[in-house]
Structures are given as C-alpha cells and as structure tokens.
Amino acid sequence: MRVTATLTALAGLTLSMQACTGASEAVTPTPVAATVAGPEDIFTGERKALIHIAEDDKDWSATYEGPIAIGDGTDDGALFRLVPAAGDQYLIEALRPREEGGRWCATADTRDEPTSIATGACTENANTLFSITATGEQDDKGRPTHRITSEEHGTLQVKNDGSALYLQQVGDGGSRGTYSFVDRGPIE
C-alpha cells in the first residue's frame, strides 16, 4: 500500500512538472553522481590531477627538462595522472605534452645529492615507482593528504624554503612534505 501511494505521488509530481514546463516537454533529472568524481577516483589512472603541496599551498609543475618545479598550478605542466603499477605503487605521469612525444613520468634523478625528482620515460623501475599513503590528515581545503615514497630512494620531501622537491630516507626527525590531489577531470 505504501509503495502504491509513493508511486501515485511521484506520478502526480511528474504531471505537475510537465504542466509547468509544457505538455510536450519531459523532465529528466541529471544524475549528479555520474558527473562528480570521488577522491579515490584519482588513483585509477583515468583522472587528471593537480598535485598540491599542503605545507606551502603550492603545486607541482613538470618542466620540459630538469626537475619537477613548484608553482601556482596554473601552467600547462601542472597536470598529472596517477597510474596504478606493480603492487600498491604508482607511476606519476606528467600530462604536459613534449616535443619528442611519448609518456613522461616522475623519476628519481640520482645525479645530484639529495636525489631530486624530474621527468623521464614512463617505464616501471625503482626510480619511477612510488607508494602513496594517506596520512589521516587534511589540507587547508579539507582534502586528504598523503606521503609519497620511493622504496629505493626514500620519502618525497619539500625543502624548508619551499623551493624544491627531493627524495631522502627519513629517520626519527620525520619529513616535510604532504600532498593532496585535486581532480581536474577525466583523461581525454
């Protein structure tokens, strides 16, 4: 009986809405869930993301050559995608187009000390695979923060002056560098 009453009420509502908009127009609701991605969707490799440095309110930016820079998130190098790889690790693919083509990912650049992070070919190896783990905390916009680590090279950190990213094994002193991910839409 309750279901029948509910269906009757819905039918009446639909007829009322059609009367308000014109008898020939049908009212079709837009499903919100289909257009809005959840925070976990960024980890599927199918979404563009801004990688935000929570401590400094800055964002990653892939350069054409050299290390990944820190900027305001508005240039064409500020988009990345997190591509699931071996185990619980990810390739962090830079979506900035490169003249030579191909896919480019974040990689440990071991030519200097401390080890910096740059872009290189997207091949799964000890320099390009990163674990991303939730800290249980949030940034100033309420987004979950994460630590990014390389099994081979340590935790991804931000210099105290906020000028650069580097990888280093962390001891008892902890690390400076937590990251949140801002969804920028589906990969096209």
DSSP state of 111: T
pLDDT digits (tens, 9 = 90+) for 155-164: 999 999 889 9
**Average pLDDT in the 94-100 region?**
87
Model confidence pLDDT, tens digit, residues 74-83: 998 999 999 9
pTM, 2 dp: 0.78
Q: How many CB atoms lie within 10 A of CB 125?
A: 13
Distance (Å, rounded) from C-alpha 82 to C-alpha 61? 15
Architecture of domain 39-186: Trefoil (2.80)
- Backbone phi and psi for residue 73, each to the nearest 5 degrees, phi listed first: 80, 15
Q: Which residues contact residue 64 at a Cβ distance below 8 angstroms, ignoring those fewer than 6 apart?
A: 96, 98, 99
Domain ranges of the chain: 1-30, 39-186
- Rounded CA-CA distance 120/107 in Å is 6
- Taking the C-alpha atoms of residue 16 and residue 48, their distance in angstroms, rounded to an integer, is 42
Share of the chain above pLDDT 90, in %: 62
What are 21-59's pLDDT values in tens digits?
444 444 444 343 344 566 689 999 999 999 999 999 999
